[in-house]
Amino acid sequence: MQGPVPPVPELGQTKSYQPTSRQLLRALETMAGVGFFTLSFADGKVRPSDGLLVLAGTLDQVGQPIGIEFIEARTHPDDRASLIESFHMLMRDTLPTRRDLRILREDGTERRLEMRFERMADEARRPVGWIICVLDRTEEESLKKNLVLMRQRLRAVLERLDVDLAWFSSPNGRVIERVKQSENAHLPDTSLFTLDSWFSSVHPDDRAQVLAGLDHPGQSVTEARVERAPGQYVPMRTVRQPVLNETGETIEWLGLTTLVEPGRGGLEANAAASEELLNGPLLRAARNLLGWTIPVLAEQSGVSASTIMRIEEATAPVIEVARRRTAERLTQALTKGGVTFHRTLTGKLAISL
């Protein structure tokens, strides 16, 4: 059974308590993850603050001076030689070249510390020792390692993607960070990594479409012609994917951009042949885009001229007018000639060179 609960003193009955300067300093050091110690030239002793002993996990040494041997015993074996070197440099009134240190606590954990140095001087401004501030960088170093690991993983994933440009942008598209660029010699020479430079290199007829893509977050695929050289434009297709935070809000965009060139970036020839949207008029347009006559297409595809004429005169899908193998031969010949079949934003089948 529990004993009687002691009465709670009424306001004004308790004696006011003021924490000591040492208690305040220890609290501030603990909350900030820092500690201090002094090194005296007179006796070579180290006098640590309570905050430093909290970092080291050696509170039993509170109020006592410690020697370099005490610190060395708790230092990571790989850092002990540099610790001794730094100590001797300090005793010679010289700043150490190395400022980091790993310590091993009794609970088995490792802490990464950074040291900052300030000379102590007496009333005559003669150096008498050092004040060393120690900052706990363990969490910061852990975050840095995780960030490096995530970037290495991202780089490994992007290297497996057949894209020419990979980039991240701010939600409004103003800040763009490039994370991959292929060695494709046909990429535009202009800088494409700010919204202004990208937009100025887009073909004037395609700029409204680009702006519409920025204004409609749900629109994930855009295609536009980008200036490769003065007056020379190449089609580029971009797929955007939002990067979401824990609440589902878009914090940035991942963009994958591909140069649409013959045999690359569009639909495979066999896939285009299976499209229900591939009909006679589109096939005729693809042939005319190359400047081919029907006999030339017949020669390149192995399909008779009469069959090609029959297909082009029909408005029904090619796979309904002829065998699928015939459609594949035609799209393969056109693709080898330089035509790219691809989908538009509205889902239609389109062609380009």
What SS3 string covers 149-160?
HHHHHHHHHHHC
Task: Please report which confidence band the pLDDT of residue 128 belongs to, taking 50, 70 and 90 as the band edges.
Answer: very high
Span 309-330, average pLDDT:
81
The segment(s) of the chain belonging to CATH 1.10.260.40 are 269-352
Report which of 273, 287, 284 is spatially closest to residue 315, judged by C-alpha positions. 284
Q: Taking the C-alpha atoms of 62, 67, 73 and 75 in order, what is their torsion angle to the nearest 10 degrees?
A: 80
Question: CA geometry: angle at 164 spanning 241 and 341, to 5°?
Answer: 85
What superfamily in CATH does domain 21-137 come from? PAS domain (3.30.450.20)
What superfamily in CATH does domain 161-259 come from? PAS domain (3.30.450.20)
Find out whether 104 and 76 touch, Cβ atoms under 8 Å: yes
> What are the helix and strand counts (H, E) for the chain?
13, 12
CATH of domain 269-352: 1.10.260.40
Give the tens place of pLDDT for each residue, 249-265. Answer: 888 888 888 887 544 44
What percentage of the chain carries pLDDT values higher than 70? Answer: 82
What is the average pLDDT score of the chain? 79
Give the tens place of pLDDT for each residue, 5-39. Answer: 666 666 556 667 788 888 888 888 888 888 888 88
Query: What strands, in cross-sheet order, belong to the sheet with 221-229?
Result: 176-181, 165-169, 250-259, 232-244, 221-229
The segment(s) of the chain belonging to CATH 3.30.450.20 are 21-137, 161-259
